Amino acid sequence: MKPVVTASDLERVPQNGEVAVTPETLITPLAREIAEQRGITFRFVAASDTSRQGDASAGETATSAGTEKSARVVAIAADHGGFELKDQLKIYLREWGYQFLDLGTDSVAAVDYPDFAEAVGNAVARGDAWLGVVLDSAGIGSSIAANKVPGVRAALCYDRATARNSREHNDANVLTLGAKLISQETAREILAVWLATPFAGGRHQRRVDKIVKIEERHAKK
């Protein structure tokens, strides 16, 4: 399992600090952005060097982060339009140290996206998965369908900014992607940022609570 450096791993690194990483270490796009903003540099070293006692390296931090993330299951599914990109994102999830629950589909044969959006939504709502990802050609239908599952806050994201905002402000727990509208590399960056961004809480918690209240009010009718 390759070590991963995320934005949260850099919280303990001082301004203009330096962290040691191995050539195999995966650094999320958000972590790179934060490092640039805070003047943090990455120094590449041999894997054995990161294990030295007292070396406050990102290699050590990333290894522990990867171990922690291995217990976090991401539910992922797609219809025929998102099948190929789903399989590629599963590779990235594995490389980043996440476990995943593949809920289909398993070919490019035509299927209906609501079935897979609901499956991921249910997995997240039940607690079988920490977060969920659904792909179809445009991502819109899957977002609408997933949001019909109580407890789900699905967000259609198309760049790093929307990925970060949906997690930080909205505490989104399902990500939907339009496989025919974005490139594989863009999807990879969106997913990396989305998984690495924590909910900010604070004033945003009050607003998310209101979203939950809307859901509860309509459930009673």
Residues classed as catalytic: 169
Token look-up 């219809």 returns 79
Distance of alpha carbon 186 from alpha carbon 117, whole angstroms: 21
Structural element, H or E, at residue 136? strand 131-136
Closest CA to 175 of 205, 211, 131, 126: 131
Q: Which residues of 134-151 are buried (b: 16+ CB within 10 A; e: fewer)?
A: bbbbbbebbbebbbebee
Q: Which two tokens stand for residue 102?
A: 């593949």
Angle among Cα 98, 19, 54 to the nearest 5 degrees reads: 100
- d(C-alpha 173, C-alpha 166), whole Å: 9
